Amino acid sequence: MYKTTTNSFGQTVIIRTNTDGSTTSFFEEQDNTDYQEYLEWLSEGNTPEEAE
C-alpha cells in the first residue's frame, strides 16, 4: 500500500497506492494528513516497500 522513495534532492517521499488505482505522494511533514495516516499505519506494525 505504501512505498518510500527519495526525490531529486534526497528527501523521502512516501507514495500510497489508493483503492481506485491512483497514487498519492507526500513528504514527511507533520501537518500533512496523509503523513499522519501513514504514521498510524506504521504504528500498527506495517512496513512500507521501497520504490523501484
- Contact residues toward another protein (CB under 8 A) are 5, 7-9, 13, 15, 18, 20-27, 29-35
Q: What is the closest distance, in whole angstroms, from the C-beta atom of residue 48 to another protein in the complex?
A: 14
Amino acid sitting at position 44: E
Q: What is the closest distance, in whole angstroms, from the C-beta atom of residue 3 to another protein in the complex?
A: 10
What CA dihedral angle connects 16, 18, 23 and 25, to 10 degrees?
A: -30
Q: What is the closest distance, in whole angstroms, from the C-beta atom of residue 47 to another protein in the complex?
A: 20
Cα–Cα separations (whole angstroms), residue 16 to 33, 37? 13, 10
